[in-house]
Structure formats: structure tokens, C-alpha cells
Amino acid sequence: MATDDKTEATFQPVFENRVRFAETDLQGIVFYGEYFTFQDEAISAYLRELEYGYEEMVDDGWQIHVVNAELNYRDGAQFGDRLMNEARVVEVGNSSITFEYRVRRVGRDEGRRERAELELESEERGESDGTDRDELDESDTDGPDGGDANETGEPILAEGTVTHVGVDLETEEPIRIPDAFRDAVVALQGGI
């Protein structure tokens, strides 16, 4: 059976987004709760990539419910930053599926240029928030512990897990995760 393959599963880049102003807080960084939305979007995108996604689950009479979600924060994203959200399945139990999630910044200079243009326009109108822009430009792109980056060197901003339980569509009782789903996961990411 394919789930016996213990090859290290690769993260799948599944969802790219650009930080919207509405997702930032008074500190100018993405509000921590927004990362749970990004995580949810990434898992949904991952399932769309499978040859056995959510539609197939429903057609086969089952669905998944979130029972646990965790995130650890490494660094903050700012307005205009492009983010790549990645996911992989790390465990398929009898009735549960655990995903690992991470989000990394890509193209940081693009976001900085966009922010700088907005700040310049703001200053020309006589508005200022008092932030020393030189300090922002000198900031390190690594996380607070100085090296949280993925294989491409792009900083990992947050990472965590989300666990779902498979349930019968009508009774809502836990069910065994079908082998077809397990096999589709292995085919997509090269192992579990």
C-alpha cells in the first residue's frame, strides 16, 4: 500500500497571496490571526491539487473537520509583501489527516517599493507616522532566531500544523480515511 512509503514528503507551494492593508495591524505587520486564514486557504488549495480532493470526498460520502490548528510565528509580513503558502500531509492515521503548513515571503523588495511609494505620497500630503524609515530598510529578512529560511533562502514567516478528522457525510461519525485518498497524497507529494 502506498502509505507504507516513508519517503520525506515535499512541501507543495499551493497558494500565493499579496498582503492587503486590511490584513495588517497598528504595528504595520500582518495580524497574527490572518495566518490561520492563510493556512486554511493553503489546505483548501492543496486538496484541489489532489486527484482525490474535496469533491471526491463528498461524492464518496465523507468529509473532513478541523480538530486542531497550531501556528508558530518566526517573522512578520508587511503590507504589499508577496507570500507563498505551502502544505504537505505528514500523517494519515486511521481517521485523521495532519497537514504541515508554512508561509514564506517572496519578492520582499517589491513590497518595500510599494510601501515606500505609499509613504512618499503620505509625506507629500503632510502625513507621517513617525517611523524611522532607515531602520526599516536595515531589518534582517531572517526570523528572530536568525536563520528560519526554506531551501530557497526565503524567510519562513510562520509554520504549523492542522489536523482534520474524516467523518461520514450523513452521520458525522469518524470513518477510516480511504486508501484512494492516501494514495493520491503520496502521488502528489512523493511520500508521507
Assigned architecture for domain 2-189 = Roll (3.10)
Residues 6+ apart with CB under 8 A from 161: 68, 69, 70, 90, 98, 99, 100, 101
List the chain domain ranges. 2-189
For the cut 50, the answer to whether the pLDDT of residue 56 exceeds it is yes
pLDDT of residue 51: 84
For the cut 80, the answer to whether the pLDDT of residue 50 exceeds it is yes
More confident residue, 147 or 75: 75
What confidence tens digit (pLDDT) does each residue in 107-143 have? 765 555 555 666 677 677 776 555 554 444 434 444 4
pLDDT of residue 61: 97
For the cut 50, the answer to whether the pLDDT of residue 145 exceeds it is no
What percentage of residues in the chain have a pLDDT greater than 90? 66
Rounded average pLDDT over 88-117:
84
Q: The whole model's pTM is what?
A: 0.76
